[in-house]
A and B are shown apart, each in its own frame.
Chain A
Amino acid sequence: MLKYILNRLFHSAIVMFVISFIVFFIMFKAGDPVQLLLPPDATQQDVIEMRHALGIDQSFIKQYEAFLRNVAKGNLGNSFVYGQPALDVVFERLPATLELSVLAMIFSIIFGVPLGIIASIRPKAWYSKAIMFLSLSGISVPVFWTGMVLVLVFSVLLGWLPSSGRGEVYLFTSAFTWDGIKHLIMPVLTLSFFQLALILRLTRTGMMEVMMQDYIKLATAKGVPRRVVVYYHALKNSLIPLITVIGIQFGQLVAFTIVTETIFAWPGTGKLIIDSIQNLDRPIVVAYLLIISFIFVAINFIVDVLYTFVDPRVRV
Chain B
Amino acid sequence: MALLEVKNLKTYFFTRNGVVKSVDGTSFSIEKGEILGIVGESGAGKSITGFSILGLIDPPGEIVEGEINFDGRDLVKLSQEELQKIRGDEISMIFQDPQTSLNPVITIGEQLMEAILYHKKGVSKKDAYNTCVEILKTVGLPAAQKRMKSYPHQLSGGMKQRVVIAMALLNNPKLLIADEPTTALDVTIQAQILYLMKKLSKEFHSALILITHDIAVVSQLCDKIAVMYAGRIVEYGKKEDVIFNPLHPYTKGLIECLPKLNDDKKRLYQIPGIMPSLLGLPKGCYFKDRCEFADEQCDVYPPQQEIDKRIVFCHKVK
Interface residues of A (CB under 8 A from B): 213-215, 217-226, 228, 233, 236-237, 240, 310-313
- A222 CA to B91 CA, complexed, in Å: 9
Q: Is the CB of A222 within 8 A of B105?
A: no
Q: Is the CB of B87 within 8 A of A221?
A: yes
Q: Chain B, 220-239, contact with A by CB distance < 8 Å: what is the 0/1 string? A: 00000000000000000000
Q: Is the CB of A217 within 8 A of B103?
A: no
Q: Is the CB of A312 within 8 A of B115?
A: no
- A218 CA to B164 CA, complexed, in Å: 9
- For the complex formed, measure the closest distance between the CB of B38 and the CB atoms of chain A, giving whole angstroms: 17
Q: Chain B, 189-221, contact with A by CB distance < 8 Å: what is the 0/1 string? A: 000000000000000000000000000000000
- A240 CA to B104 CA, complexed, in Å: 12
Given contacts A218-B93, A220-B87, 11 further A-B pairs with CB under 8 A are A214-B97, A217-B95, A217-B101, A218-B101, A219-B114, A222-B114, A222-B115, A226-B80, A237-B105, A312-B104, A312-B151
Chain B residues near A220 (CB-CB < 8 A): 56, 84, 87
Q: Is the CB of A222 within 8 A of B92?
A: yes
At the interface, is chain A mostly helix, strand, loop or mixed? helix
* Cβ-neighbour of A219 out of B54, B96, B103, B153 (below 8 A): B103
Chain B residues near A225 (CB-CB < 8 A): 84, 118
* Cβ-neighbour of B100 out of A215, A224, A236 (below 8 A): A215
Q: Is the CB of B80 within 8 A of A313?
A: no
Chain A residues near B119 (CB-CB < 8 A): 223
Least CB separation from B89: chain A residue: A223
- A214 CA to B160 CA, complexed, in Å: 14
- For the complex formed, measure the closest distance between the CB of A231 and the CB atoms of chain B, giving whole angstroms: 13
- For the complex formed, measure the closest distance between the CB of B242 and the CB atoms of chain A, giving whole angstroms: 28
B102 at the interface (CB under 8 A from A): yes
B45 at the interface (CB under 8 A from A): no
Q: Is the CB of B115 within 8 A of A223?
A: yes
Of A237, A240, A312, A313, the most chain B CB neighbours within 10 A belong to A312
Q: Is the CB of B115 within 8 A of A237?
A: no
Q: Chain B, 42-82, contact with A by CB distance < 8 Å: what is the 0/1 string? A: 00000000000010100000000000000000000000100
Q: Is the CB of B89 within 8 A of A237?
A: no
Q: Is the CB of B103 within 8 A of A215?
A: yes
Q: Is the CB of B80 within 8 A of A222?
A: no
B106 at the interface (CB under 8 A from A): yes
Q: Is the CB of B56 within 8 A of A222?
A: no
Known: A222-B88, A223-B87, A226-B84. A310 touches B105 (CB 8 A): yes
Chain B residues near A214 (CB-CB < 8 A): 95-97, 100-101
- A228 CA to B119 CA, complexed, in Å: 14
Chain A residues near B114 (CB-CB < 8 A): 219, 222, 224
Chain A residues near B86 (CB-CB < 8 A): 223
B85 at the interface (CB under 8 A from A): yes
B314 at the interface (CB under 8 A from A): no
- A211 CA to B111 CA, complexed, in Å: 17
- For the complex formed, measure the closest distance between the CB of B22 and the CB atoms of chain A, giving whole angstroms: 16
How many chain B residues touch A (Cβ–Cβ < 8 Å)? 32
Least CB separation from A236: chain B residue: B105
Of A218, A233, A237, the most chain B CB neighbours within 10 A belong to A218
B36 at the interface (CB under 8 A from A): no
- A228 CA to B54 CA, complexed, in Å: 18
Q: Is the CB of B95 within 8 A of A311?
A: no
Q: Is the CB of A223 within 8 A of B88?
A: yes
- A215 CA to B93 CA, complexed, in Å: 12
- A217 CA to B118 CA, complexed, in Å: 16
Chain B residues near A221 (CB-CB < 8 A): 54, 56, 87-88, 92-93, 95
- A240 CA to B151 CA, complexed, in Å: 16
Q: Is the CB of B153 within 8 A of A215?
A: no
Chain A residues near B105 (CB-CB < 8 A): 236-237, 240, 310-312
User: Mind listing 6 A-B residue pairs with CB under 8 Å?
Assistant: A213-B100, A215-B102, A218-B102, A220-B84, A222-B115, A223-B119
Chain B residues near A240 (CB-CB < 8 A): 105
Known: A214-B95, A218-B93. A223 touches B85 (CB 8 A): yes
- For the complex formed, measure the closest distance between the CB of A307 and the CB atoms of chain B, giving whole angstroms: 11
Least CB separation from A232: chain B residue: B106
The 5 closest A-B pairs by CB, nearest first: A223-B88, A222-B88, A214-B100, A312-B151, A223-B87
B167 at the interface (CB under 8 A from A): yes
- For the complex formed, measure the closest distance between the CB of B227 and the CB atoms of chain A, giving whole angstroms: 25
Least CB separation from B85: chain A residue: A223
- For the complex formed, measure the closest distance between the CB of B46 and the CB atoms of chain A, giving whole angstroms: 16
Q: Is the CB of B101 within 8 A of A215?
A: yes
- For the complex formed, measure the closest distance between the CB of A121 and the CB atoms of chain B, giving whole angstroms: 11
- A233 CA to B114 CA, complexed, in Å: 11
- A236 CA to B105 CA, complexed, in Å: 7
Chain B residues near A219 (CB-CB < 8 A): 103, 111, 114
Chain B residues near A222 (CB-CB < 8 A): 87-88, 92, 114-115, 167-168
- A262 CA to B189 CA, complexed, in Å: 67
Chain A residues near B151 (CB-CB < 8 A): 312-313
Least CB separation from A237: chain B residue: B105
- For the complex formed, measure the closest distance between the CB of B56 and the CB atoms of chain A, giving whole angstroms: 6
- For the complex formed, measure the closest distance between the CB of B99 and the CB atoms of chain A, giving whole angstroms: 9
Known: A220-B56, A226-B80, A312-B151. A233 touches B92 (CB 8 A): no
- A183 CA to B119 CA, complexed, in Å: 51
Q: Is the CB of A217 within 8 A of B153?
A: no
- A217 CA to B164 CA, complexed, in Å: 13
